[in-house]
Amino acid sequence: MAFTTPAGAAAGPPLCDNHACAHCGAPATLTCAACKDAPAFEDKIETKWYCNADCQKADWPGHKSICKKLNARKRLSRAAEIAQSLWYIFREETNDYSIVGISFKNGVYYLQEADGGIVDRWNKGYRYPFPNQLMPDESMKRAILTHMLCTDALGYMHTTIAGLLEGLYAEISEIRFDVMSECRSRRLKSVNIHGQADEKEYSHHILQVKLKSGEIYVMDLTGAQYGFDDALVPWAEYVWKMRALVDVNTFGYLRKVIHEPLGKRDLEDLLRRYYVEMDRGFEAALAEALILAGGLSLSKLVTLPEPAFREKRSQILMHVQARLRLAAELMDKITVKRLAATHNINLLACFK
């Protein structure tokens, strides 16, 4: 039990006096910090106001169960938002999607690729600078940072998500859906260098998180490609949108898929190893950011009071972005060649 004191209310008279103490009815300026700012979905949330700590304590037996439920929801929503922001950073800094133009026709955004092939990439460094200059707005940028990347996001963010959700959930599964066409508010298609659009329909991976309170949510880091920008959505609402569930796997399944070498010593294997190295760079950058933020753990970060949470969150995101950018630049110069040599991959054969 802790208080949030509205800004300005601690010193001098209260800024507004239209709140009544939930226990004694007197004018109140303090709120319960644990459940304040929890997202309201279909339920209506009433913030609890108190006139002093004694009244909060006296009200606790009645407030405890809803408070715990809302607090868990708040932590989960913060965790989902941070994991999604980290994915956007990871993807932007390690971008290998060579988009040179965006056009819109019959409700579809066509993303023109200018891939000169791996030889080009190998000579210049594997990555492409993210084409910020082509983005009409932030929402399109998020869509492209997530386009066909749902397995990657859950695979590479796995350790981070597990850290953020530590002690919070009763059960997590990785679930694959077929996204119903009519549910999407945004459609993207890649167009290759020969002008052919990729007409395949891809399934979509998300996390289903069951909280100890019994609430069930979807954590979707890569929904922006379909126009679903929210990182956290109540399960029932999400299923209504997507409708066709394909399969269910254990938490960590996609990380294993992403990290497992294919053993083929070919281009696909090489690129997988390249991203595994990028993932290590990302995890090191995040670990460093947490140390600099005062030795925080991810699970502790999402429990901080609102102002401290906001400050640490942006400090951590900025640090990860700066460190990852440096790491990726260094890796560009050496990684592909070194990986090929270390793993005895025949680069010449890859380039055919």
Q: Which residues sit at the interface with Zn ion, rule CB under 5 A?
A: 21, 23-24, 26, 32, 34-35, 51, 55, 67
In this structure, the number of other CB atoms found within 10 A of the CB of residue 300 comes to 15
Q: Specify the residue, 55 or 224, whose C-beta has the smaller distance to Zn ion.
A: 55
Q: Specify the residue, 35 or 289, whose C-beta has the smaller distance to Zn ion.
A: 35
Q: Are 197 and 174 in contact (CB under 8 A)?
A: no
Q: Indicate the angle between helix axes 267-292 and 306-342, nearest 10 degrees.
A: 150
The CB-of-25 to Zn ion minimum distance in angstroms stands at 7
Q: Specify the residue, 32 or 301, whose C-beta has the smaller distance to Zn ion.
A: 32
The full length of the chain comes to 352
Q: Specify the residue, 24 or 308, whose C-beta has the smaller distance to Zn ion.
A: 24
The CB-of-76 to Zn ion minimum distance in angstroms stands at 16
The CB-of-217 to Zn ion minimum distance in angstroms stands at 19
Q: Report the alpha-carbon distance of residue 95 to residue 129 in Å, rounded.
A: 7
The CB-of-162 to Zn ion minimum distance in angstroms stands at 27
Q: Specify the residue, 24 or 102, whose C-beta has the smaller distance to Zn ion.
A: 24
The CB-of-216 to Zn ion minimum distance in angstroms stands at 21
| Beta strand pairing call for 216-219 and 232-234 | antiparallel
The CB-of-309 to Zn ion minimum distance in angstroms stands at 16
Q: Are 32 and 66 in contact (CB under 8 A)?
A: no
The CB-of-59 to Zn ion minimum distance in angstroms stands at 8
Q: Specify the residue, 60 or 235, whose C-beta has the smaller distance to Zn ion.
A: 60
Q: Specify the residue, 34 or 298, whose C-beta has the smaller distance to Zn ion.
A: 34
The CB-of-11 to Zn ion minimum distance in angstroms stands at 20
Question: What are residue 208's phi and psi, to 5 degrees?
Answer: -100, 125
| Beta strand pairing call for 108-113 and 188-191 | parallel
Q: Specify the residue, 36 or 205, whose C-beta has the smaller distance to Zn ion.
A: 36
The CB-of-20 to Zn ion minimum distance in angstroms stands at 8
Q: Report the alpha-carbon distance of residue 269 to residue 318 in Å, rounded.
A: 31
Q: Any residues with CB less than 8 A from the CB of 159 and at least 6 apart, and which?
A: 255, 283
Q: Specify the residue, 35 or 144, whose C-beta has the smaller distance to Zn ion.
A: 35
